[in-house]
Structure 1
């Protein structure tokens, strides 16, 4: 087979795995349910075979009215995109090694279904920890193509009016590069003509969580802040999972502990996303996966999103950057000047979750707690759906005017500017107006605190007298 054909074959296989189409065992049932929290591949949430509708121009009828059809044309896109599938962190890789050592060196016999462990070796090398995986590159390449298809009319003749931002982590730079390759493949037959704009590295806006000392000290590194998470970890639902899973693996119930079961779940998650199958997944039933999914959601909810006001407040440098860049584009658009058509930022789950909270997205009526698992089966805050690898939040600005024969139309230019928000390519209800299409001026006013009153130093200053927790 030629190198070109081999490359095509490997890309086909990668995309097939991403779409959940290549499975050889019972683990396939979990890929389709997307129950792996932030370790869920993007194309288990979004079907890559689904047709992409161009969103550059559309007609909009406001609900409940008969005379407000608007013709809308997009003129600016602002996106925040999580990196693609990555290798596990070193902490988890070492834990995987430790579980393997414990099971293979013990004198206690493995169950019949565990014989594969004797020949298993950890497929995740230490020196790859946290780096973007080949499948992550394929994931972002495919996402870039989808964005190119969706906004083709906007970008195809203005390919130099794009800005890229990345964090200091290599996985965001590699994700941006793969995204750009897919994006340019749709927009230009000549890669040299399209060019590749050098990204701006900016941790101040994309890794604000690591720069906020108050967050690091009082939430991220403070077990007290994750009280609900630890209650659930030691509660009846998780204890049932531990007991059932351990019995399926080994004859001695005392050989493995709760942390080992959680580690085995991580092996299952990563192997399934990398290879499309994992023998380790056979130890879990559907109920087990749902319980562990909620367990992980508790951590993300309390640490990164709605658990504490600080989590959303500290995202204001990024929220401000999003709206300020939009304001600049809008000003230049109205003045007939050249402006940036697209701003694309590549970051992390720890970046997206606080921004969701700042925007008021996916906020459940009742907080996620250790004692309301059964009540939260239809929760909005489900990290496997809203924070998978390659998760994306997109603002699109439109100039909207009446479609036909509206008399006495004398609205100002500002009143003609509308905005949509998309999460993972699906339009979401914007809290500012309760619709999927809002006047930009209304949205801008709704979030003014995060934009015009952002004082990151004050938000993240540790006040020993008034501790949030």
Structure 2
């Protein structure tokens, strides 16, 4: 039985926010926050509880986590579009006599007048301020839930941190450490030298067969292209042009650029609305989200068996760490990317729909499990906690800081280590990465 130790203030906080915590998307009045795919800010899906998690007869001993970097800047091509194309569209909106209307209101026009691109191509994909805060708060909450594991005193024997060869994961690791140990100690935390092709953090970079047959194969994204050229997307383009009084001025590429701008500016600014979001209805956003979901499903998820099977080295690293007898080593945290998290989730068998996502199944998949806005936001995290219990060692799995039940133990929050090893035996015992991934 889960025991919650709550102070009076925390009880009040939980009561005030219980409605939000019942849902994975807490949009605080901005419905567009719920449909931003992998550009979703973590605040909309995070579990904001700080209560200590305990189970009768059990003691938390170790933790292994894999964390996607926090909210970042867009890629350079998107930033260039923001700087070159969007000012033209902005001016056309301001020059139009169609506004204000029920979609673009006076307050939105005021925001358009003030709007200008805020990032430069040289800063592409760098961690944003919101991403710093996401990491700080994530670390603080994990420490509050599992104080015996996430000690606030740092030693390099107790903690093992590692990040990929990128600024956004390096900075994410620093701010996570800062949330655990404070600013002064965080500066002295040890990190191994990152590599461009890390076999655990970015295993897919080393998988020749996946890169050749899936990542670089145009057929992989066939369903995405079919949907982008289908009736739903054409209707959105027509509707938005009509709504803005533009006839056929905006293209599909323009709509995608505006959607990405709406998403990033929403992620960066929790207290203000991006004017670019005002041109969309919720139905528009659901379609645009599905475009992104199709891409991730076929490239990184259940679309191809190899995509998720190749995650076995990372899964094995987790099992080996939790089974190790080193009494000093308590915490491993890896800071990585969307591609790693999605493949890991599929490897575990989580969020698998009965039918594959296809271009013609949008209307039937409104309640799909594979919804990247929920399962792969910025700062997405997957944690495995080892508990020593009276009847043996057990594992608690958290995704987005919420307990998830694995297929190995569908009826229990805690899964015995033996049962988990048995269910994922092929992944643990038969992980021949070279055989899976070598094209020769």
- List per-residue Cα deviations over 1:241-265 (Å, max 9, x = no partner): 1111222335231x22111101100
Query: Which residue number corresponds to residue 287 of structure 2?
Result: 291
Counterpart in the other structure of 1:233: 228
Structure 1 Cα separation of the partners of residues 330 and 181 of structure 2: 15
Cα deviations by residue, 1:51-104 (Å, 9 ceiling, x for unpaired):
31212x322xxxxxxxxxxx1111010001110000001121122234225536
Shift of the alpha carbon at 1:448?
2.6
Secondary structure at 1:394's aligned position in 2?
A: strand
Alpha-carbon offset, residue 436 of structure 1? 2.0
Counterpart-to-counterpart distance in 1, 2:72 and 2:61 = 33
Q: Secondary structure at the match of 2:361?
A: coil
Instruction: Give how far 1:315 is off.
Output: 1.6
2:80 corresponds to which residue? Answer: 94
Runs of 4 or more off by more than 6 Å in structure 1?
A: 104-108
Higher Rg of the two aligned structures: 1
Task: Tell me how far apart the structure 1 counterparts of residues 246 and 203 of structure 2 sit (CA, whole Å).
Answer: 47
Q: Who is 2:378 aligned against?
A: 389
Say if 1:28 and 1:277, in contact at 8 Å, map to a contact too: no
Equivalent residue of 1:156, what SS? coil
Deviates more, 1:215-224 or 1:138-147: 215-224
Counterpart secondary structure, 2:237: helix
What CA distance in whole angstroms lies between the structure 2 residues aligned with 1:264 and 1:193?
A: 38
Deviation sequence 1:149-183 (CA, Å, 0-9, x none): 11113343764211101111111110010011111
1:444 match: 421
Of the three residues 259, 262, 287, the one matched with 1:265 is: 259
Q: In the alignment, does 2:179 pair up with 1:182?
A: yes
| CA distance in 1 between partners of 2:214 and 2:350 (Å) | 21
CA distance in 2, matches of 1:107, 1:319: 50
Q: 1:314/1:104 Cα in 2 relative to 1: closer, same or farther (>3 Å)?
A: same
Give structure 2 stretches of 5+ with no counterpart: 1-19, 21-26
Name which of 427, 442, 456 aligns with 2:403. 427
Instruction: Say if 1:278 and 1:27 are closer, same or farther in 2 by CA, change over 3 A.
Output: farther
Instruction: Give the aligned partner of residue 191 of structure 2.
Output: 198
Change (3 A) 1:192 1:39: closer
Counterpart contact for 1:392–1:425, Cα < 8 Å: yes
State how many pairs are aligned.
Answer: 399
- The residue correspondences of 1:317-328 to structure 2 (distance < 5 A) are 317-328=313-324
* Unaligned 5+ runs, structure 1: 1-18, 20-25, 60-70, 333-337, 402-414, 464-469
1:222 to 210, 217, 226: 217
Change (3 A) 1:226 1:194: closer
Structure 1 position 107, deviation (Å): 12
Cα distance per residue 1:3-55 (max 9 Å; x no partner): xxxxxxxxxxxxxxxx9xxxxxx995225x5210110111111253xx31212
Please list, as runs of the form range in 1=range in 2, the aligned pairs for 1:127-142 lying within 5 A after superposition: 127-142=122-137
Kindly report which structure 2 residues correspond to 1:160-171, keeping only aligned pairs within 5 A, or say none: 160=155, 161-171=158-168
Q: Contact conserved, 2:47 with 2:400, CA < 8 A, in 1? A: no
Aligned twin of 1:38? 38
Task: Check conservation: 1:74, 1:398, Cα contact below 8 A.
Answer: yes
The Cα RMSD (Å) is 2.6
- Separation in structure 2 between the aligned mates of residue 175 and residue 379 of structure 1, nearest angstrom: 30
Asked if 1 retains the 8 angstrom alpha-carbon contact of 2:93 and 2:244, the reply is: no
> Residues 162 and 343 of structure 1 are in contact (CA less than 8 Å); yes or no, is this contact kept in structure 2?
yes
Do the aligned partners of 1:83 and 1:347 also contact (CA within 8 Å) in 2?
yes
Aligned counterparts of 1:132 and 1:366: Cα–Cα separation in 2: 36
User: What pairs up with 1:19-418 in 2 under 5 angstroms?
Assistant: 28-31=29-32, 33-46=33-46, 48=48, 51-55=49-53, 57-59=54-56, 71-100=57-86, 102-103=88-89, 110=96, 111-112=98-99, 120-156=115-151, 159-160=154-155, 161-185=158-182, 191-192=184-185, 196-199=189-192, 201=194, 203-253=198-248, 255-275=249-269, 276-328=272-324, 331-332=325-326, 338-401=327-390, 416-418=392-394
Q: Does the residue aligned with 1:251 lie in a helix, a strand or coil?
A: coil
| 1:158–1:123 CA distance, 2 compared to 1 (3 A) | closer
The residue matched to 1:311 in structure 2 has which SS? helix
2:67 is paired with a residue whose SS is strand
2:432 is aligned to 455
CA distance 1:437–1:239, shift in 2 (3 Å)? same
Distance 1:47 1:245, change over 3 A: farther
1:84 aligns to what SS in structure 2? Answer: coil
SS in 1 for 2:407: coil
- For residues 92 and 187 of structure 2, the distance between their equivalents in structure 1, rounded to whole angstroms, comes to 58
